[in-house]
Amino acid sequence: MTTRLYYDDSDLMTFDATVVTCAPVDDRFEIVLDRTAFYPTSGGQPFDTGTLDDAQVVDVIDRDEAGIVHVVRAALAPGQRVTGTIDDARRRDHREQHTGQHVLSAAFERTGGVATVGFHMGGEVSTIDLAREVSAAEIDAAEDDANRVIREDREVTVRIVPEDEIAALALRRQPTRRGALRIVEVTGYDVSACGGTHVARTGAIGLVVVTGVEKVRGGSRLTFLCGVRAVRGFRERRDRLAEIGRRLGVAAADVGPRVARLQQDLRDAEAQGRDLRQALALARAVEWRAEAETMGAWRVVIRATELAGGDLSALARAIVAEPGIVTVLTGPGVPVPVVVARSADVALDAGAVLKAMAAALGGRGGGRPDLAQGGVTAEAPAIAAFVRGHLADVPIA
Ligand SMILES: [Zn+2]
């Protein structure tokens, strides 16, 4: 079993150790040392990177009794002495995020009685899962309390506590492990069983900010940033807001009202567009009815248009608003959108006409006796020719 040097000293960045085993796996090697300062992925915290002599450590896995496995790209001989070097910036970032998580989770417990049921530290952001949904005001309250504790620069201590003394501790979460536990305590604020690497004082966290919240299985998942990540996150948001402000031609503080006005302008423009399309349809209906072909007792309007969907059927309705009219309109696209409609007094089944058209020319469609629509896989002239031939064969009542 590997001696975990990071348990006692989160500041230890270089160490000497002896290679116990080296196992080739695919194009990599799994190295177990007699002792290590490399933190393996566990408890929501990702592994440390760094080197064993010149070999880059690309993963660190906790195999419990089998020890801690360092995955490297070069073989190391069992019995060989190696120097391990931890990537300092990555470790410091993980310490800031992890202690920040303890403080933030304790803050939710203390300000709102909300338990943390999950923690994940990602490369960009970290998340905690809370046992219930929380309001924006509750998030603000917890965030404020956590930052107060950070500003107070409280001591963070780590100690091993024997099993029989665990019950006397006011642990924030009940431990899942038996035996002696590693206890991480933020003085006067939080007591947790945790194997992670932590900062020595809360001041090193710098700042904690909640950057997002989503509902997850009856609870909330909060995204948060601590330390350097919080500063970077603020900068990104500031720059993004400034960019939006520039595009809108207003100061960042005025972006909200400006967007609200643009939304209203868009709604107005859409309403105006609808009115204009309707007016155009009515004008066209009058013009096209005047130019209708006469077939028996009906006047027939067959036209190719640039319209589709609701606009096409609205125009057809406008055309058949007078008695004695049958209209067949097509739009652009493949298959060609087709609407067949007739006036209320015309004894013709528009749906049946469209079905016959689709059967003859290919495509599909259907609808009510007074209006039917579909798509036909033929050009507009072929559709017009079919309609003229078909209507000539229909007995007129
Ligand atoms: Zn922890």
Q: What is the per-residue pLDDT across 156-173, written as a single tens digit (0 to 9) for each?
A: 999 999 999 999 999 999
CA of 176 to the centre of ligand 1 (A): 13
Largest CA distance in the chain: 105
CA of 318 to the centre of ligand 1 (A): 70
CA of 378 to the centre of ligand 1 (A): 68
Range(s) within the chain of domains with CATH label 2.40.30.130? 3-86
pLDDT at 397 over 60: no
CA of 173 to the centre of ligand 1 (A): 11
Range(s) within the chain of domains with CATH label 3.30.980.10? 92-245
pLDDT at 267 over 90: yes
At 175, the pLDDT band (50, 70, 90 cuts) reads confident
Tell me the residue length of the chain. Answer: 397
pLDDT of residue 396: 57
CA of 301 to the centre of ligand 1 (A): 76
pLDDT at 143 over 60: yes
pLDDT at 104 over 80: yes
CA of 229 to the centre of ligand 1 (A): 18
* Contact call for residues 97 and 226 (beta carbons, < 8 A): yes
CA of 256 to the centre of ligand 1 (A): 39
CA of 53 to the centre of ligand 1 (A): 30
CA of 195 to the centre of ligand 1 (A): 6
Mean pLDDT of 242-250: 95
CA of 15 to the centre of ligand 1 (A): 24
- The alpha-carbon radius of gyration of the chain (Å, integer) is 36
Does the domain at residues 275-393 carry the CATH identifier 3.10.310.40? yes
pLDDT of residue 395: 62
CA of 245 to the centre of ligand 1 (A): 40
pLDDT of residue 317: 95
Instruction: Read off the pLDDT of residues 112-131 as tens digits, 9 standing for 90 and up.
Output: 999 999 999 999 999 999 99
Class of the 92-245 domain?
alpha beta
Place of tokens 């097509």: 330
At 391, the pLDDT band (50, 70, 90 cuts) reads confident
CA of 144 to the centre of ligand 1 (A): 21
What is the DSSP pairing of strand 28-33 with strand 293-295?
unpaired
pLDDT of residue 169: 92
| d(C-alpha 187, C-alpha 162), whole Å | 20
pLDDT of residue 159: 95
| d(C-alpha 255, C-alpha 139), whole Å | 24
CA of 42 to the centre of ligand 1 (A): 9
Return the top range by mean pLDDT from 171-180, 265-274, 306-315.
Answer: 265-274
CA of 24 to the centre of ligand 1 (A): 32
pLDDT of residue 342: 97
- pTM (two decimals): 0.76
Mean pLDDT of 211-229: 96
At 286, the pLDDT band (50, 70, 90 cuts) reads very high
CA of 102 to the centre of ligand 1 (A): 6
Mean pLDDT of 201-209: 98
CA of 98 to the centre of ligand 1 (A): 6
pLDDT at 310 over 70: yes
CA of 184 to the centre of ligand 1 (A): 8
Rounded to whole angstroms, what are the CA distances from 308 to 179, 314, 316, 348?
Answer: 72, 10, 11, 23
CA of 56 to the centre of ligand 1 (A): 26
pLDDT at 263 over 90: yes
CA of 196 to the centre of ligand 1 (A): 5
CA of 10 to the centre of ligand 1 (A): 13
Phi, psi of 264 (to 5 degrees): -65, -40
Rounded to whole angstroms, what are the CA distances from 361 to 216, 335, 367, 380?
Answer: 52, 11, 18, 11
CA of 147 to the centre of ligand 1 (A): 18
pLDDT of residue 296: 85
At 1, the pLDDT band (50, 70, 90 cuts) reads confident
Query: Across all residues in the chain, what is the average pLDDT?
Result: 94
Neighbours of 270 (CB within 10 A): 10
CA of 126 to the centre of ligand 1 (A): 13
CA atoms within 13 A on the CB side of 26: 4
Distance of CA 362 to the CA centre of its chain: 42
Range(s) within the chain of domains with CATH label 3.10.310.40? 275-393
The amino acid present at 391, given as its one-letter code, is L
Share of the chain above pLDDT 90, in %: 89
CA of 46 to the centre of ligand 1 (A): 12
| Fold adopted by 3-86 | Elongation Factor Tu (Ef-tu); domain 3 (2.40.30)
CA of 366 to the centre of ligand 1 (A): 64
